[in-house]
Amino acid sequence: MRTDFAFIGVMLITAFLLMGVAVFAASLLRPKKPSQAKLETYECGMETVGDAWVQFRVQYYIFALIFVLFDVGGVLLFPFAVAFNVVPIYAVLVVSLFLGTLMAALLYAWRKGALQWD
Amino acid sequence: MSLIDTINNLLKIIGDAVANLVQNILGPGLGADLIVMGLGALALCTVAALTFMAMTWAERKVVARIQSRVGPNQAGPFGLLQPIADGIKMFTKEDTTPTSADRWVYNAAPLIIATFALLTFAVFPIAPGVVGTNLNIGVFFVIAVGSASTVAILMAGWGSNNKYSLLGAFRTVAQLVGYEVPMLLNVIPVIVLAGSMGLADIVQRQTLADGNPGIPFIVYLPLSALAFFIAGVAETGRSPFDLLEAESEIVAGFHVEYSGMKFALFMLGEYVNTLAVSIVFATLFLGGYAGPILPPYLWLALKTALVFFVFMWLRGTLPRVRVDQLMSLNWKVLVPMSVVNIIAVIILAKVFVTSPGLQAANGGILVTPATQAAILFVANIAILLSGLAIVARRARVLRLAEERQLESRRQANRAAVSGFAGGAPAK
Amino acid sequence: MTISQILFIVIALVVLGGGVMVVTARNLFHAALFLIVSFFGVTGLYVLLDAGFFAAAQFLVYIGAISILVIFAVMLTRGVQQAQPANSQWPAALITSVIVFVIMAIMLGPIAVTIGDRQFGNLSWPNIVEGQTVPAVPDDSLVRLGQSFVDFNQYGAAFLLTAVLILVAMVGAIWVARDRTLKDVMEERAELAAEEAQEAMLAGPAQPALPVGAAQVAEPTAEPAVRH
């Protein structure tokens, strides 16, 4: 297993270096004549007012949270799926109950209007 | 070894020869192993990058044909050299970093997105025995690594310090990450049937050998395949789910401030992710490299090209979906349907077993693989159709309510108009 | 030193360095990014422990999901760029972290502490004790994990409780972030109007010539509540 992941590590480093080399080579080849106008933030010709780093709506956060909850739920199903052929038949009931509870959570969010984007 | 065997195992023979050569030069040991791995990684990255170039050409050509245009036709025959021309342009184009940008974050984002897109290629089985590394968690690894792109998109959006960029990044992340959930959920039935997360094992279960029936999983699980495909299109942010780019609204989204090579890396990340989703779909549902007569790697390439063609087809024909439709489709249609599908598949797969050993261990009814496939197929289609019926019914109710409202407003207007018709003096 | 020891030191430095930067970065967005670096290091630790599934799960859940949640939370706060390095609660945080550190040092270290008739610490981890080796992770560890999730003698109850926890988290999240309902808004406006009317009443005796004006002040604030 660890030896399997050794290749992942090598691949990660190789890919990163390759991409870095591409950017570096481009920086040698390309012209470099910066000017005031070029370096300004692009906003369809208007002059930018203030930072983009402003406060955002809470709805984005709610969706991210619902996503995290279901992500965790989904991850927990994977070991069961791998063991499917060796688990006893009542395991199907346990997992159905697990999924049913997840659906109840989704239904709650639905009824409360949290899934509505406006 | 016959000629046909040689052609079928061409990639493995080349790989073994290179590995032997390195080990003969350096002697067996850690250094030689690392160099062999590095060469393998380099080969995979190169193949992915070249396929990316071919994909840009194919997409422009196919979408142009769908829209009755010609597409690139100046550079080389059929515009085949267009990707090379694009590459030269990307390399030599001036690349500015806005003064107000967050320099480190801004420059790291394209590198991260491209690196993690390429990393998924480490686990794809290209032919029997030809695979970067046969992880036993293969498909889970691909989905996990694919999720890194959201972080890179947020970094790009933030680092640019541009309102369009940040808005585009937030749109993507809030609206599209949700599609990872149906992606995860629809892989589960495949793992249940294959009994493993390793991509090579999943292909093995769909190959006609060793007592396996050789039926691709799309026959067993058409609903899972459909939902996985929709989620895959959304996850890669491609049309019709390209709200993150939406050039008419937020010009180009998170990468509006990028140009030159860094922009090229974003494109590479996007296309390589699309390619990865195509390969995963081909492996999970179409049987990967399994197939008769042709060499295995050609089968994988053909199946992947078929999936990517559907991607292009969607891009050429469908308009962009609205934000609320996007959210509803995911959370109110795909996720509930996938969960019902999982429950149905695990119950049916436990009741109708295909091997006597499983029957002896857990009970159940012994059926042939073809019968099991037919049962699961019918169940999948039944869930799909009833789901669609519920959606259609709901949509009709909403539409009727809207029409009623419109009608009552119309009547009120009419009443107001006829009130004056009696002879109110016009002023 | 073996290769895995060297790798462990490198990865531990990444985790700890990321953690230190999270605490010291003034820009909250940068702090969130360093948190991701730290998470990535933890992924590496799982790989070193031969727990491939947990490494991928760590990547998927923490880097792909939780870090996004953290970044969104950061973006919801004001003054992302000029965060105060410390607030009034820093002594409490310091005491808590010192206590946690001491407990962990005792749990993992060679010193034994006896409380009552139970001994804590000096746990003789197999890789610490000379001559013992860590047993290899079995090939079917994932299958065993899956079995234990549905076995009520092992983690079956915990598995189902996780779903309940997710349900509770969903309810809590929606409750915390709920939009103020129309009823809340109307009540608030009514309160405001009542307050202003009271103020006008209090001001009334001093300026008896303007009772009509006071009523006019109260009216516009009450009106929107009716209109909505």
Mean pLDDT in residue range B377-389? 94
Residue pair B40/B15 in contact by the 8 Å Cβ criterion = yes
Residues of A in contact with C29 (CB under 8 A): 53
CA B180 to the chain's CA centroid = 11
pLDDT attached to residue C217: 43
The predicted structure's pLDDT at residue B335: 93
Nearest CB to C33: which of B105, B170, B177? Answer: B105
C107 touches chain A (CB under 8 A): no
Reply yes or no on whether the pLDDT at C76 is more than 80: no
Mean pLDDT across C98-105 = 89
CA atoms within 13 A on the CB side of B195: 12
Choose from B113, B119, B136 for mutation: most chain C CBs within 10 A: B136
Chain B's closest residue to C52, CA to CA, is B137
Q: What is the pLDDT of residue C226?
A: 38
When pLDDT is averaged across residues B87-95 and rounded to a whole number, the result is 85
pLDDT of B227 above 80: yes
Structure tokens at A89: 């038949």
Distance from C-alpha of C71 to C-alpha of B390, rounded to nearest angstrom: 37
Domain extents in chain C: 1-84, 86-137, 182-227
Assign C68 to helix, strand or coil. helix
B30-34, B62-66, C107-111, range with greatest mean pLDDT: B62-66
- C-alpha B113/C-alpha B96 separation (Å) is 19
Q: What percent of chain B has pLDDT over 90?
A: 37
Residue C208 has pLDDT above 50, yes or no: no
Quickly count helices (H) and strands (E) in chain C. 9, 2
Q: State both tokens at C183.
A: 């009823």
Q: Which among A2, A3, A4, A7 is the top mutation candidate for probing chain B, defined by the most B β-carbons within 10 Å of its own β-carbon? A: A7
**CA geometry: angle at B338 spanning B335 and B340, to 5°?**
110
Per the CB < 8 A criterion, the answer to whether B268 and B184 are in contact is no
Q: Is residue B204 part of a domain?
A: yes
Question: How many structural domains are present in chain A?
Answer: 1
* Mean pLDDT, range A37-52, rounded to an integer: 64
**C18, C63 contact by CB (below 8 A):** no
- Determine the Cα–Cα distance for residues A34 and B98; give it in Å rounded to an integer: 10
Q: How far apart are CA C111 and CA C124, in angstroms?
A: 10
pLDDT at B381 (0 to 100): 94
Q: In the structure, how many helices (H) and strands (E) does chain A have?
A: 3, 0
pLDDT for A98:
94
C74: β partners: none
Q: Say which residues have a Cβ less than 8 Å from residue A77's Cβ, sequence separation at least 6.
A: A95, A98, A99, B184, B185, B188, B342
Report the alpha-carbon distance of residue C37 to residue C22 in Å, rounded.
10
| pLDDT above 60 (res B230) | yes
In Å, how far from its chain's centre is CA B3?
36
**Mean pLDDT of all residues in B384-408:** 90
pLDDT digits (tens, 9 = 90+) for B271-298: 999 999 999 999 999 988 888 888 889 9
Q: Do C36 and B140 touch (CB under 8 A)?
A: no
pLDDT above 60 for C220 = no
Quote the number of domains for chain B.
1
Of A16, A84, A103, the CB nearest to B336: A103
Rg (CA), chain B: 26
* Any C CB within 8 A of A91 CB: yes
- When pLDDT is averaged across residues B36-50 and rounded to a whole number, the result is 91
Task: Compute how many other C-beta atoms are within 10 angstroms of the C-beta atom of residue B283.
Answer: 28
Q: Looking at residues B324-335, what average pLDDT do you find?
A: 88
Dihedral sign, CA of B417, B419, B422, B427?
negative
Cα B384–chain centre separation: 21
User: For B307, what's the count of Cα atoms within 13 Å in the CB-facing half-sphere?
Assistant: 28
Tell which wins on pLDDT, B411 or C178.
Answer: B411
Q: What is the sign of the dihedral through the CA atoms of A21, A23, A29 and A35?
A: negative
C195 or B1, higher pLDDT: C195
Gap between the Cα atoms of A100 and A113, Å rounded: 20
d(CA C102, CA B355): 55
- The answer to whether the CB atoms of B154 and C30 lie below 8 A apart is no
* A21 membership: H or E segment, kind and range: helix A2-29
pLDDT category of residue A2 using cuts at 50, 70 and 90: low
Mean of pLDDT over chain C: 78
CA dist., res. B144 & res. C176, Å (int): 29
Could you tell me the pLDDT band of residue B199, with boundaries at 50, 70 and 90?
very high
Over residues C115-131, mean pLDDT: 65
Does residue B68 sit within a domain?
no
Quote the pLDDT of residue C227. 39
Q: What is the pLDDT of residue B268?
A: 92
Q: Which residues in chain B are contacts of C3 at CB distance < 8 A? A: 30
C78 touches chain A (CB under 8 A): yes
Q: Is C118 helix (H, G, I), strand (E, B) or coil?
A: strand
Residue B402: pLDDT band by 50, 70, 90 thresholds? Answer: confident
Q: C39: pLDDT confidence band, cut at 50, 70 and 90?
A: very high
C212 touches chain A (CB under 8 A): no
Q: How far is B170 from chain A (nearest CA, A)?
A: 8
Task: With respect to residue A104, please indicate whether it lies within any of the assigned structural domains.
Answer: yes
Given the structure tokens 């003064």, which residue do they identify?
A: B99
List, for residues B101-145, the tens digit of each pLDDT value: 888 898 999 999 999 999 999 999 998 888 888 888 889 999 999
Question: Which has the closest alpha carbon to C80: C19, C39, C31, C153?
Answer: C31
Q: CA-to-CA distance for B17 and B25, rounded, in angstroms?
A: 12
Report residue A61's pLDDT band, with 50, 70 and 90 as the boundaries: confident
Dihedrals phi, psi of B323, to nearest 5 degrees: -60, -45
What type of residue is B111? L
Nearest to A11, CA basis, from B132, C129, C141 = B132
Q: How far is the alpha carbon of B178 from chain C, nearest alpha carbon, in Å?
A: 10
- The 3-state secondary structure of chain B reads CCHHHHHHCHHHHHHHHHHHHHHHHHCCCHHHHHHHHHHHHHHHHHHHHHHHHHHHHHHHHHHHHHCCCCCCCCCCHHHCCHHHHHHHHHHHCCCCCCCCCCHHHHHHHHHHHHHHHHHHHHHCCCECCECCCCCCCHHHHHHHHHCHHHHHHHHHHHHHCCHHHHHHHHHHHHHHHHHHHHHHHHHHHHHHHHCCCCHHHHHHHCCCCCCCCCCCHHHHCHHHHHHHHHHHHHHCCCCCCCCCCCHHHHCCHHHCCCCHHHHHHHHHHHHHHHHHHHHHHHHHHCCCCCCCCCCHHHHHHHHHHHHHHHHHHHHHHCCCCCHHHHHHHHHHHHHHHHHHHHHHHHHHHHHEECCHHHHHHHCCEECCHHHHHHHHHHHHHHHHHHHHHHHHHHHHHHHHHHHHHHHHHHHHHHHHHHHHHCCCCCC
> Is 50 exceeded by the pLDDT of residue C213?
no
Residue B210 pLDDT exceeds 60: yes
Mean pLDDT of all residues in A92-109: 93
> How much is the pLDDT for C222?
39
Residues in chain A with CB shorter than 8 Å from the CB of B350 are 89, 92
Pairing of β C118-121 and β C112-115: antiparallel
At residue C130, the pLDDT reads 60
B42 compared with B242, residue with greater pLDDT:
B42
Instruction: State the CB neighbour count (10 A cutoff) for residue B367.
Output: 16
pLDDT confidence of C228, banded at 50, 70, 90?
very low
Q: What is the pLDDT of residues B245-274, one digit of tens each?
A: 665 555 567 777 887 888 899 889 989 999
Average pLDDT over residues A75-100: 92
**Segment C40-54, tens digit of pLDDT:** 999 999 998 888 899
The gap from C-alpha B358 to its chain's centroid, in whole angstroms, comes to 34
Q: CB C49: neighbour CB atoms within 10 A?
A: 16
In this predicted complex, what is the ipTM? 0.89
Q: What is the mean pLDDT of chain B?
A: 87
Greater pLDDT, C45 or C75: C45
| B125 assigned to some structural domain | yes
Residue B304 belongs to what domain range? 93-347
Question: What pLDDT, on the 0 to 100 scale, is given for residue C191?
Answer: 74
What part of A 22-41 touches C (C-beta under 8 Å)? none
DSSP letter, residue A57: -
Sort out which chain C residues have CB atoms less than 8 A from A83's CB and list them. Answer: 142-147, 149-150
* CB atoms inside a 10 Å sphere around CB B207: 18
CA distance B272 to chain C (A): 18
Q: Could you give the percent of chain B with pLDDT greater than 70? A: 95
Element (DSSP H or E) covering residue A99? helix A90-111
Interface contact flag, C52 A61, Cβ < 8 Å: no
Residues A20-42: tens digit of each pLDDT: 998 888 888 888 777 777 677 76
A-C contacts at Cβ under 8 angstroms: 142
Residue C59 reports pLDDT greater than 90 = yes
Among the residue ranges A97-111, B50-64, B98-112, C69-83, the one predicted with the least confidence is C69-83
- Give the CATH class of C1-84: mainly alpha
A21: CATH: 1.20.58.1610
The pLDDT of residue C209 is above 50 = no
CB nearest to A109's CB, from C52, C162, C174: C174
- Specify if B417 maps to a domain: no
Percent of chain C with pLDDT over 70: 72
Q: Is residue A116 part of a domain?
A: no
CA distance B362 to chain C (A): 14
Distance CA C188, CA B35 (A): 71
